[in-house]
């Protein structure tokens, strides 16, 4: 994840924890990215790290979905093939997946999701 995505993700998590403090711990990051040594990479893979997993997971079901998977991207960013494949896999299992490009978009998507105002 690049620095702009990281700053955006930090802002999104900060807002979520303030706005939804009762379920704050149910939104969490999946630290899949970053440079690692070959040994650390092998250990993480053996522990279950999976290529393409979304940046944030919200483990709260609503009327339409089991949970919300959130991929952070800058305005110019794009999903990798492994991210697209993971998106398809989780959507097939009943999860909502969104690509977020701003704090405002994050707030809107999360608010709609949590108030069951989904566009199915």
Enumerate the domain spans of the chain: 3-114
CA 41 to chain centre: 21
Q: Where are the alpha helices (DSSP H) in 1-120?
A: 3-19, 38-47, 81-92, 103-114
Rounded-to-integer distance, Cα 120 and Cα 106, Å: 18
pLDDT at 47 over 90: no
Confidence at residue 58, expressed as pLDDT on a 0 to 100 scale: 98
CATH number of 3-114: 3.40.1350.10
Mean pLDDT score, 29-49? 83
Q: Phi and psi at residue 54, in whole multiples of 5°?
A: -60, 160
Rg (CA), the chain: 14
Percent of the chain with pLDDT over 90: 76
C-alpha torsion sign, points 31, 33, 36, 42: positive
Confidence at residue 118, expressed as pLDDT on a 0 to 100 scale: 62
Percent of the chain with pLDDT over 70: 95
pLDDT at 40 over 90: no
pLDDT at 1 over 90: no
Confidence at residue 120, expressed as pLDDT on a 0 to 100 scale: 46
């Amino acid at each position: 994840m690049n620095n702009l995505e990281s700053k955006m993700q930090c802002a999104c998590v900060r807002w979520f924890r303030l706005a939804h403090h009762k379920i704050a711990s149910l939104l969490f990051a999946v630290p899949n990215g970053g440079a690692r040594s070959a040994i650390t990479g092998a250990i993480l893979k053996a522990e279950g790290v999976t290529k393409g997993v979304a940046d944030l997971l919200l483990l709260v079901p609503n009327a339409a979905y089991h949970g919300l998977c959130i991929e952070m991207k800058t305005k110019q960013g794009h999903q990798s093939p492994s991210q697209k494949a993971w998106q398809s896999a989780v959507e097939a299992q009943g999860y909502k997946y969104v690509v977020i490009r701003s704090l405002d978009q994050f707030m809107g998507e999360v608010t709609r999701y949590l108030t069951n105002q989904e566009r199915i």
